[in-house]
Structure formats: C-alpha cells, structure tokens
Amino acid sequence: MLKKKDKYVVAVVGATGAVGNEMIATLEQRNFPVEKLRLFASERSEGKHLDFRDESIKVETLNEDSFKGIDIALFSAGAERSRTWAPIAARSGCVVVDNSSQWRMDPEVPLVIPEVNPQDLKWHKGIIANPNCSTIQMVVALKPIHDAAKIKRVVVTTFQAVSGTGQKAIQELEQQVRALYNFKEIEKKVYPHQIAFNVLPHIDKFLENGYTKEEMKMVNETRKILGDDSIRLTATTVRVPVFRGHSESVNVETEKKLSADECRAILSTAPGVVVYDAPEKNIYPLPIYAAGKDETFVGRVREDESIENGLNLWVVSDNLRKGAALNAVQIAEKLVEMAG
C-alpha cells in the first residue's frame, strides 16, 4: 500500500509515446502532488527531453535499479515490457498502474475504473491494471444503469480512433490523406488496409472464435470490473479514420424497465458522465468535441422498441484521456487518497 506523503516520486514508463505524453500532461493539468518526475522509454528515445511544469526532464532507459525510490509508476509501454518490468517495479516498493493488456485478467490484479470500482484498489499487490480504452468509456456509462436496473445483455459496436494504435498510426492516417489528395500512392505499414476514408472491422488479432482480441477484451473486462459474470456481452470493434476519440453504439437490455428519460436522469448525476442529448437541435456526442476533455459523453438515449427492457446509447470519449492517461492518473489520485 502507498505510504502517506505530501508529495510523491512518480515515473512514466513509455513516456515518449502518445499515451505517455498524455500521462505527463495529465499529471501537470491535475496538479498531481509530484515531488520528482522520472521518464523512461526505449533505447531509441534515450537522451530526449520532455517538459513537465517548468522543467525539462531527460528520458532514461530502464534497468534493474530504475524503480528504487519511486512511489508510483504509470506504465504505457506495451504488454511485453510490462510483463518484464512491472514485477521488478513492484518488488522495489513501487505501485504500478499499468495501461497494457498484460495484467487485466490476472485474478491477483485489480482492474479499476475509479468512478466504477475504486474499492478494488484495497486488494492490490503492487500492480493495478488500467482497462482497455473502449471498455472504460462504456463501463463508466453502464455502471449507473446496472445499479439502477441490472444489466442482462449488452451489444456494442465501437468506432475507434487511430490514436488507439499509437503515434505511428496517427502519422499513417495523416500521410495517407495527404497522398490521396495529391494523387499519390499510399503506404500501408500500421494497418493491413488503407485507413484514410475507410473503416476497418479489425482491431488487434483475430481469435479462433472469429472475434478479435479487442472484442473479447470488452467482454471479459466489463464482467470483471462490474463483478458480474452473468452479464452477456458481444462486441464488434471497428477502426475509423478519426485521429482522437472513440465512439460506441451500445445496446443494453436490463431486468427492470428504464425509460429513456429515467436513463438520462440517472446518467446526468453519474460521476464522469455528461449527458449531451438533444438530437432535435443536432446535439449529440462527437469525437471532435470530446477530444482533450476528461468526461465520457452520452447521447442518442432512446428505448429499444424491439425488446421489452432495452436502451440504445451513443457513447463518446477521448481515448487518450479517459481511455488511458486520465484513468491511470485518477487511479494514482485514489491511491494517494487511500494512503496510510
């Protein structure tokens, strides 16, 4: 458990990536009590400097002694590096908040969204998992509905921005758009097909059941976070030519009937949720409006007329903020709050 201090030594692992950059910015914007910030990345980034507050901080590479004296480490370096370095960090007395998929379904590791299941932080053993970006925004919206009417089934289709793949994917979309406008050949390196002006029903690897890993992450992580294996859930995840902000079409079946107005009222008081829903005025969540914001936006709330107790929601959030960096920093804030 984190020891109570006025300020903490914090590390960001994977600091030069899209999420790592966002973690640094979020720590600064939320005035996290940082005594000292240390930044780590791969060998190719060694020697770079990144700004935090009024300081230029040199990026380091990891070694066995890197985590000595560090209180909290925010990991955004991929599953393989997390598998190697997170246990080393935890053994050094550091609390790890990991953004990769490596620890999410480990029964010994809590999978936490602070607005949903902060109580699970009490049983961490040095590593805490940050959920998948698409799972986070959906479950932030689902939790108050589940509490009010018990969710039986969820059908979700996601429309996910290229920033979810990382900095190289952002650059690939930019380059493809420029190439197409200039009547040049496009290059495909990150995605198997053109992403510019296209949609790809393919995020992560395909599994034997025909689903992708991303789709099954949403199924399994949702049940773990909500602590309810009885919820039936199916997902189709789609990559779209948007730079930042994931959108989701979510169909929910509940045990108890909720009208659309009741659902809006419940969501309007839910932590981390903004109801943005006046379609007659063309008001509904859009990724361009969610970019750079912390909240999860919900609109197009309506009853599913094909079943007795059904609702449709349109859920949008910044995948680099609430879907990754912000959620990790919020976990760190909860750890500070709970520190003894």
Annotated catalytic residues are 133, 246
Give, in degrees to the nearest 5, the angle at Cα 324 between 323 and 326: 95
Reference 161, options 319, 3, 339, 329; nearest CA is 319
d(CA 314, CA 125): 36
If one counts every other C-beta atom within 10 angstroms of the C-beta of residue 132, the result is 28
d(CA 291, CA 105): 29
Neighbouring residues of 331: CB distance < 8 A, sequence distance ≥ 6: 97, 112, 114, 121, 128, 130
If one counts every other C-beta atom within 10 angstroms of the C-beta of residue 337, the result is 11
d(CA 45, CA 164): 21
Measured in whole angstroms, the distance separating CA 321 from the mean position of its chain's CA atoms is: 7
Q: In what order do the strands lie in the sheet with 246-254?
A: 232-239, 151-160, 246-254, 310-317, 296-303, 273-275
Phi, psi values for residue 253, rounded to 5°: -110, 130
Measured in whole angstroms, the distance separating CA 28 from the mean position of its chain's CA atoms is: 19
